[in-house]
Amino acid sequence: MVGLMEIERPVKELEGKIAELKNLAETEKIDLSDQISTLEERAEKLKKRLYKNLTPWQKTQMARHPMRPYTLDYAQALFDEYIELHGDRCCGDDKSIVGGFAKLDGRPVIFIGHQKGRNTRENIERNFGSAHPEGYRKAMRLMEQAERFKRPILTFIDTQGAFCGIGAEERGQSEAIASSLCFMSRLKTPIIAVIIGEGGSGGAIGLGVGNRILMLENSVYSVISPEGCAAILWKDAGRAREAAEILKLTASDLKQLGVIDEIIPEPIGGAHNDYEKTIAAVKRAIKRHLSELSVMSAEELVANRYDKFKRMGVVGSIMP
Amino acid sequence: MLLKDWFAKRPRYSSTGLENSRSRVPDGLMTKCPGCEDAIYNKELEKSLKVCPKCSYHFRLSARERLDITIEAGSLEEYDSDMLSVNPLDFPEYEDKLIKSRHKTGQIDAVITGQASVAGYRTVIAVTDFAFMGGSMGSVVGEKVVAAMERAVDYRLPMLVISASGGGARMQEGILSLMQMAKTGAAVAKLREAELPYIVILTDPTMGGVAASFASLGDVIIAEPGALIGFAGPRVIEQTIRQKLPEGFQRSEFQLKHGFVDIIAARKDMVATLAMLYSFYLD
C-alpha cells in the first residue's frame, strides 16, 4: 500500500492539523475559525488536485485498497433483498465467488461477484478473492437460471486473478473459465459486468462477458498484474510502477481502447472514502443500462454481445 | 553377462550442462532427446515425425511441420495470411519481438488458419506455433481463430484446432489479448449452435489464456503424450503455494486422469484418430 500512503499522506497531515486546531479552539476557548476554514479549503483543493491526477500505479493501489467496497457491500446496499445461494452441485462452494437472487428496486436480478476478505481470517476464507474452478461453475449454474427465468445478470469483478494451485489445476481451472466465456456469450438475457476493484486477467474475464461493461474510475483491468509484467519484462517485480503505465489498465485507457462502455466516477478520495455515494453512482449506471438493454429481444442481446467482443482487438495488414 | 563384468570398471559420467553436451553433437547431424538424453540422427528423427524412437518423446513442431504431417499435401487454402500484429499499446520492444519471431519462424504471427483436407475430410483448421512468441494470443491470433470458426459455420465444415500455445494471452497487447479469450470462446459457442463438430489437439505446451478459452472447449479433446497443459505455469504455481509440484503434474496423462482430455494419441496415430472421429461425426 506504499503508493497509496504517499498520496494520502499530505491530505492526512492537513486533516490532522485541522483537527488539532479545532481541539485547541475548543479547549482554550479561542476563535480559530478563520485559520481552520483556510486550512479546510486548502485540504479540499489538495484532495481534488491529488485524486484527479492519479497515476496508473496509484490507481492500482486504490483498486486494491482494503477498505474499498467489496461485492457483498454492494449486495447489501444496492438491493431491496438479496439471498445468497451456494455451491456448484459438483465439488463444493467457492467463497471467493458469491452469488444469488436479488431485487433491484423491485426487479429480480441474478447477482454474482468475486469476494475478497478484509483481514487475514476473511482472506483465508475467501482465498483473497481468487476463485477455484467451482466458483465459475457456481456462477454458470446461477446464470443458467437467469436465462431460464428471464432475469438479467449483474456480475461484479474484483479479483487479482483465478487461483493458481494444485487443486485448481486438478479440477480444471482452464476448462471452467473457458466454459464460462462460451456459456455467457450465448445467454439470452441482459448481462452487465461492473469492474469494482481489480480486474485480474482470466479470473476477471471469466465473469466479464457482458452486453455492457462498466468500470469504477479507480479500478484496473489487465491481462497480467503490474508486478507479473515487471517480473517478465525486467526480471524485477519491484518495477511494477512502470509496468502499470505500460499495461494501459486504467478505466480511461480501457474506454479509449473500446473495451469498456462507461466509467463510473468515484467520490473524491476514492470509493472507500464514501460508500454511499459510490454505491449510488453504481446503481444509477446499472439501472440506466438495464433499461436500455431491456427493450432488446433475446436474439438481439446475444448478437449485441457477440459483436461487441468481435470488435475488440487491433490488427494490421501486410497489404498496403 | 559374465560374472567378472559385474566388477568391471564402468565409465563414470559427470553431469554436464545442457549447453555443453549439445555442443558435442555435430550441427545438423544429430539432436539430443530431452526425454532420454540420447542423441538421435536427424534423418531418423524426421522419419519418425520428430518422435524419439527410443523413449517416444514428442518434439515440438512448428505450425508448418504440424500441417505437413496432418493435412493432405497441397490441400491447404490459407485464410487471412495478410493479417499482421501491430502495437496498439506502444508496448516496449513489442515490434522487435514480432520482427525477430517472423524471421525465426517464417510466419507472420502465431497462428495459421485455413481450409484443408484431413484423412479425406474437408475441415477448417487453425494451428498455433510455440516458436512465435510462445504461440501467444494477441489480436491477430484471436481474430484469425474467430474468422476461421465463422467460416466453418458459413461453409458448414468441422473445425480443428491444434494448439501449441504455451504463452497464453499475449502480454504485449494487454487487455486486448484478454478480450480475445471472450471472443474465441463466443465463436466456439457459434460452432456448437450450428451443430458442427469441433476437435482440439493439445500439444506441448498449451497454457494460460489459450487453454482457458478455445483450446479447452473441443467436443473432443485429444492430447499428444507428455504435453504440458494447464492454466497457470508450473513455476507460478510453485511460487504461489511454496511447494514442489509432483512428477507429471499438468502433463497430458494428468489431464486425462482428471477428466479434461478424451484421448491421448501418439503423433503417428493422430491422423487415423481424426479419421475415426470425422467418420463418426460426418458420415
Q: Tell me which residue of A223, A71, A56, A283 sits closest to A158, measured CA to CA.
A: A71
A257 and A111 fall within a common domain: yes
Decide the pairing of beta strands B198-202 and B159-163.
parallel
Q: What is the pLDDT of residue A16?
A: 87
How many Cβ atoms are within 10 Å of A77's Cβ, its own excluded? 16
A177 falls within a domain? yes
Out of A33, A53, A73, a domain closes at A53
- Stronger pLDDT, B26 or A99, i.e. the higher one: A99
Is the pLDDT assigned to residue B85 strictly greater than 70?
A: yes
* pLDDT score, position B5: 55
Mean pLDDT, residues B72-100:
96
Spatial distance between the Cα atoms of B211 and B218, rounded to a whole number of angstroms: 11
Q: Is-contact A263 A217, C-beta < 8 A?
A: yes
- pLDDT of res. B153: 98
Q: What is the structure's pLDDT at A3?
A: 46
| A11 and A150 in a common domain | no
Q: Residue B73's pLDDT band (boundaries 50, 70, 90)?
A: very high
The pLDDT tens digits of the residues spanning A177-216 come to 999 999 999 999 999 999 999 999 999 999 999 999 999 9
Cell 470509493 -> residue = A271
Q: Distance between CA atoms of A84 and A74, rounded to whole angstroms? A: 13
Give pLDDT tens digits for A31-45: 888 888 888 888 888
DSSP B251: B
The partner residue sitting opposite B86, judged by closest CB among A309, A310, A316, is: A316
Smallest CA–CA separation between B99 and chain A, in Å?
13
The domain boundary residue, chosen from A53, A78, A96: A53
Cross-chain Cβ contact B216/A314 below 8 Å: no
- Provide the number of structural domains found in chain A: 2
CATH code: domain B60-282 is 3.90.226.10
Whether A252 is in a domain gets the answer yes
With 50 as the cut, is the pLDDT of residue A135 above it?
Answer: yes
> Residue length, chain A?
320
pLDDT digits (tens, 9 = 90+) for B7-32: 555 545 444 444 444 444 456 799 99
Under 8 Å between Cβ of B220 and B268: no
CB contact under 8 A, A313 and B176: yes
pLDDT band per the 50, 70, 90 thresholds, residue A5 = low
H or E, element range at B278: helix B270-282
CA-atom Rg of chain B in angstroms: 21
Q: Which of B136, B134, B138 is nearest to B84 (CA)?
A: B138
ipTM of this complex: 0.93
Compare A87 and A46 and report the one with higher pLDDT: A87
CA-to-CA distance for B10 and B106, rounded, in angstroms?
47
Residue B72 has which C-alpha cell? 493432405
* Interface with chain A: mutation pick from B181, B245, B249, B256, highest number of A CBs within 10 Å: B181
Distance CA B25, CA B60 (A): 19
Per the model's pLDDT, the better-predicted residue between A18 and A207 turns out to be A207
B266, pLDDT greater than 60: yes
Residue A41 domain boundaries: 2-53
Assign A51 a pLDDT band (cuts: 50, 70, 90). Answer: confident
- How does the average pLDDT of chain B come out, rounded? 92
Distance between CA atoms of A270 and A60, rounded to whole angstroms? 12
All three cell numbers of A163, joined, read 487461483
Task: Check whether residue A8 and residue A94 sit in a common domain.
Answer: no
Preceding amide of B225 cis, omega within 30: no
In a domain, A317, yes or no: no
pLDDT recorded at residue A36: 87
Q: What is the pLDDT of residue B7?
A: 55
User: How far apart are the C-alpha atoms of A295 and A255, rounded to whole Å?
Assistant: 25
Question: Mean of the pLDDT values across residues A114-140?
Answer: 96
B198 touches A at CB < 8 Å: no
3-state secondary structure B143-170: HHHHHHHHHHHHHCCCEEEEECCCCCEC
Which chain B residues have a beta carbon less than 8 Å from that of A257?
88, 175-176
Tell me the one-letter amino acid at A254. Answer: L
Asked whether the predicted pLDDT for residue A134 surpasses 80, the reply is yes
A155 and A42 in a single domain? The answer is no
Is A143 in the same domain as A176? yes
A18 and A40 in contact (C-beta within 8 Å)? yes
Structural domain spans, chain B: 19-59, 60-282
Q: What is the pLDDT of residues B124-133, one digit of tens each?
A: 999 999 999 9
pLDDT recorded at residue B209 = 97
- CATH code of the domain containing A224: 3.90.226.10
**Confidence (pLDDT) at A120:** 93
Q: What is the pLDDT of residues A52-74, one digit of tens each?
A: 889 999 999 999 999 999 999 99
Interchain CB distance below 8 Å, B176 and A209: no
**pLDDT at res. A35:** 85
Q: Phi/psi of residue A111, each to 5°?
A: -115, 130
Q: How much is the pLDDT for B166? A: 93
